[in-house]
Structure 1
Amino acid sequence: MALLARCCLTLAAVLAAAACTGSAPGRAAAGPPPPASSGTVADRGGAGARSWAPALTGHRPCPGQPDVTCADLAVPLDRSGHEPGALSLRVAVLGRADAPRGTLLFLTGGPGQPGVPYVPRIRARLPEVLAEYRLVMVDQRGTGSSALDCPALQKEVGSSDTVVPSEPAVTACAEALGGTRNFYTTADTVADLEDLRRALDVPSWTVDGVSYGTFTAGQYALTHPGRVRALVLDSVVPLDGSSVLYEDALGDSARILRAACREQRCGFDPAEDLARVVRRDGNAVGVFTLLVTASIIDPKLNDPRYGILAALHASAKGDRARFDALVAGFSGPGRATPAEFSSGLHAAALCADGAWPWGDASAPLEGRERALEGAVRRIRPADVWPFPRETAGAQGMPRTCLPWPASRPSRRPPGRSLAGPVLLLAGDRDLSTPVQWARELAAATPGAELVVVEGAGHSVQSRSDVGARAAQEFLLRRPR
């Protein structure tokens, strides 16, 4: 899911340290799709579809990274050819085409996060791997250099999955994008990645994805199984889009709070405190946002700058000031720019890809709220305690897509299970992509390796030495 870059105390600086335009935002460049040639036919047929050969152009050193080459990949907005226009995706390449173990495509999260700015972070975390592989990272369509810009939505939610946007901000974004909102699904990105592989002229590659990048990587592997040599999926998002109500994360909060309390010998039950606070104050979504964000930047809940457990306990005893300030700070206005994280792309892709209680993205607006309410009523309260079950339907993911106009749903790949070598990585304190999601995918993937890192939160390759080492060992076992 999204890296929740909220502003609380020194949180903005912490996230900045942890993390390391082409056409007008929200619109494809005027003119036809990329030039036709005798290349392979685009992945979707239909009237107006063209044959063309993808290519990387405009090779130059990436800003601040003289040994990394940046280039541009032109892709059609609409592969059926009905909607004119093209997008230019920025691509970064580190290493030689004849690297001993081939090419590693590394996919970042969101949806909404660019790829190119994270090259320094990945090369610092996986140095042994990058001595053997050529690294490729890309600003997926609608992000980074081609970011969708929805100012009101961007200001309200920034890079958060769970902060609740206003309905006017959501509808204004959809109206600004117009019909182009149909072309920012994960299936469109999967087709772009296949164009990128062809442009690089590699028969197959290894793919490593983090958070939403695991969803994209998984969809690519299911669509093009013969093109993937091995997969690393770090902080797993379910490949069927079933994560939208966050029931597993809500229910796992009690275990994570209690584990942190045992380690700190706090002497009280923070899960009981949370249950008391959210029912008294009606701030369950804000508290959930706080805990999800903490699972990224402070997964053991022991950073004295935040003091989350102590503030929660004080609030349960009646002294609300400190905890209320934390909740408000983590749920405050987003500060990420569209180029840093596009909330417009996040909404367009999320609403197209999610398995919603009302059906897919083409469902009419009428009846969606009723379907959501029914799904929430079917949740067993014990499964999401210490939160009330209403939190599942009140958090930002469903509240973003409830008013999103009927759109083209993302196409599902034909494959049902991943094949080939697969490594799944998870932190046992992650509430952004809870460990249960990785366990379920491991159970459904023959031969998959699952590494659960104790005490770690989200994005274990970037934030855990154990996670980075597990990824490196797996990737370096692959044959040359």
Structure 2
Amino acid sequence: MHRFGYAQRPRYAALGLAAAFAVLALAGCSNSGTPAAASGGAGKTAAVKRHYGRIVFDPCTLSSAYAAGTIAAQCATFKVPENHAAPNGRTIDLHIAWLPPTDESAVDDDPVFFLAGGPGQAATESWPLVDGAFREVRKHRSIVLVDQRGTGRSTPLTCRDAAGDSDGSQSEQAMLDHSVAAVERCAKSLKVDARYFTTTDAIADLDLVRTAIGAAKIDLVGVSYGTRVAQQYAGRYPQHTRAVVLDGVAPNELVLGSEHARNLDSALAAQFKLCQQTPACRARFGGEPREQLRRLMARLQAAPVEVDYRDPSTGEQLREKVTSGHVAMLTRMFSYAPEAASLLPLMLNEADQGRYAPLMSLSKMLGNQLSEELNYGMQLSVTCAEDADLFVADPADADTVLGDAMTKVLQAQCKVWPTGQRPKDFHAPFASPLPVLLLSGELDPVTPPRYGEQVLKHLPNGRHLILRGQGHGALRIGCTPKLLGQFIETANAKQLDARCLDALGYVPPFVSFNGWEP
């Protein structure tokens, strides 16, 4: 799903569950205090409180360093039981943002709940990057953003100390011991019971919010890990679910983290094939970037190299060892989006020629963004309860970019993390007559199209759209926003005219920093 939460030897620095389900650019959210439009639109101001059902909201704004402008919203805090089996016990606060319809002259009763990825991202922080994809949906429907417990402002479980970097000087066992100790310290410092921060607890929260706002049924749009949340909610509360969108599908049956290494290598093979098929790329790089990557990582695994680079956050000149883990981090995260993946042959060639500074700066930038936006403690609460005991070693991981470090380290960390329980049928396939629209990118390195096909088998009213040449996350691509709006309006995936997606193509590989050749 490196530097997120587990010890790394050089080969594995900056690799982990968080990165597998993160988007390449992550959003930030601010409750700026600037008066927001009462209708959710920009321009008008209102300081009055608004009610949605029995929840009272105050004006707020959502913003992101990676998205232009701000989004007017209504924000509230909603108390839920920490342990749903003890409803009269200790409570925790959920942070909720509500975006009323932009045209309130004709409002549909069923709101849309947006479910963020991760595990560890917050819905309110991710929303600014996807808001444009919902322009049709927002006309007549409310959008409800619930920061899942453990993320955003909903009692976040950050555990930043558990996500330390390695300079490559420690042994693998020493780094593992350091990581486990950091996780144990974080667990002991918590003022809440991390056993109750699982997906099952989260869907119970969502239904309490649904009840409080007075919605008989809701629509669910889940991305990446959010597709697990959506399937679990729709399976547990089908009577309260109208329609479901799954973007970057993670099947219920999937053990999160168990196939990341192989999925990435499969995606890289397809992405690097574009270089082999492009004469300029083949002439410049020899047409074998995967072998170049393999040699580069082996060389850095054996001997990390001191490199001078510019800190992407401060502009300060720094000196540090570049390791095979930095290469793996950049390779993985760039593979999420085709525009970034098109740079990989060039970046790997630069590093192979001994010019490591650009790679180091970009790796640090991505690592800093991810560690700030993803709550590693929440990831552990989800993974330890739902997946870690099901990890099975696979020899096929040995020769991959990521290797088998992630599952080994997560298993070690879960031994010291407060671990909850999953329902016995948690990993049963999502089988439902509900209308479901599934979206996959052809070159997705995390949730490949075969996952969508697997889930579709149990959905008689489902439809799976595969976007040619695309990576992880489809909501904003091409005409997908139009199709999303039509599906939410009609709740009929089979009737969608998706021929507009045929216009999507492949991003050619860069052969120089001036861009790709025409």
Same fold, TM-score > 0.5, yes or no:
yes
Within 5 Å, give how 1:36-185 maps onto structure 2. Answer: 57-63=55-61, 67-81=72-86, 84-95=89-100, 99-100=107-108, 102-146=110-154, 147-154=156-163, 156=165, 166-177=179-190, 180-185=193-198
Matched letter for residue 120 of structure 2: G
Work out which of the residue numbers 337, 344, 347 in structure 2 matches 1:311. Answer: 347
Preserved contact between residue 268 and residue 335 of structure 2 (Cα < 8 Å): no
The gaps in structure 2 that reach 5 residues or longer are: 5-12, 15-22, 31-51, 63-69, 167-174, 302-322, 493-518
Which residue of structure 1 lines up, in the alignment, with residue 334 of structure 2?
A: 294
Report deviation, 1:224: 1.1
Q: Does 1:393 align with 2:429?
A: no
The separation in 2 between residues aligned to 1:127 and 1:342, in whole angstroms, is 29
Query: Distance in 1 between the 2:419 and 2:130 partners?
Result: 35
TM-score (norm. length: structure 2): 0.68
Q: What SS does the corresponding residue of 2:335 show, helix, strand or coil? A: helix
Q: Confirm or deny that 1:230 pairs with 2:264.
A: no
Residue 444 of structure 2 is aligned to residue 408 of structure 1: no
Q: Please tell me whether the aligned partners of residues 234 and 459 of structure 1 are also in contact (alpha carbons under 8 angstroms).
A: yes
Q: Deviations over 1:129-168 (max 9, x none)?
A: 11132111111111111312323025559xxxxx998222
1:90–1:125 CA distance, 2 compared to 1 (3 A) = same
| Corresponding residue of 1:259 | 274
Write the letter of the residue equivalent to 1:349: V
CA deviations over 1:44-84 (Å, ceiling 9, x no partner): xxxxxxxxxx9854421123678522122210001222994
Correspondence for 1:435: 449
CA–CA distance in structure 2, aligned partners of residues 115 and 175 of structure 1: 27
Matched, 1:278 2:286: no
Are the equivalent residues in 1 in contact too, given 2:71–2:128 (CA < 8 A)?
no
1:218 and 1:167 mapped to 2: Cα distance? 32
- 2:264 is aligned to 249
Over the matched positions of the two proteins, sequence identity in percent amounts to 25
Write the mapping of 1:17-32 to structure 2, written as runs, cut at 5 A: none
- Show the counterpart of 1:457: 471
CA 1:426 to 1:264, structure 2 compared with 1: closer, same or farther past 3 Å?
A: farther
* Kept after mapping to 1: 8 A contact 2:29/2:124: no
Q: Which moved more, 1:468-477 or 1:86-95?
A: 468-477
Q: 1:104 to 1:351 in 2, by over 3 A?
A: same
Q: Is the 8 A contact 2:429 2:458 kept in 1?
A: no
Counterpart of 1:269 in structure 2 is: 288
Would the alpha carbon gap of residues 90 and 167 (structure 1) be closer, same or farther in structure 2, given more than 3 Å must change?
same
102 and 92 in structure 1: CA distance in 2 versus 1, 3 angstrom threshold = same
- Provide the C-alpha distance between the structure 2 equivalents of 1:179 and 1:301, rounded to a whole number of angstroms: 40
User: How many residue pairs are counted as aligned between the two chains?
Assistant: 404
Contact 1:244 1:398 in 2 (8 A): no
Task: Give the equivalent residue in structure 2 for 1:346.
Answer: 379
Structure 1 match to 2:440: 426
Contact persistence 2:444–2:471 (CA under 8 A) = yes
**Residues 284 and 422 of structure 1: is their aligned pair in 2 closer, same or farther, counting only changes over 3 Å?**
farther
Gaps of 5+ in 1: 8-13, 22-53, 158-162, 360-371
Kept in 2, the 8 Å contact 1:218–1:239? The answer is: yes
Kindly report which structure 2 residues correspond to 1:206-221, keeping only aligned pairs within 5 A, or say none. 206-221=219-234
CA contact (8 A) 1:73 1:89 kept: yes
The answer (yes or no) to whether the contact 1:154–1:342 under 8 Å persists in 2 is: no
- Equivalent-residue separation in structure 2 for 1:416 and 1:17 (angstroms): 30
TM-score by length of 1: 0.73
Q: Counterparts of 1:364-379 in structure 2 under 5 Å?
A: 375-376=392-393, 378-379=394-395
**Aligned counterparts of 2:425 and 2:294: Cα–Cα separation in 1:** 40
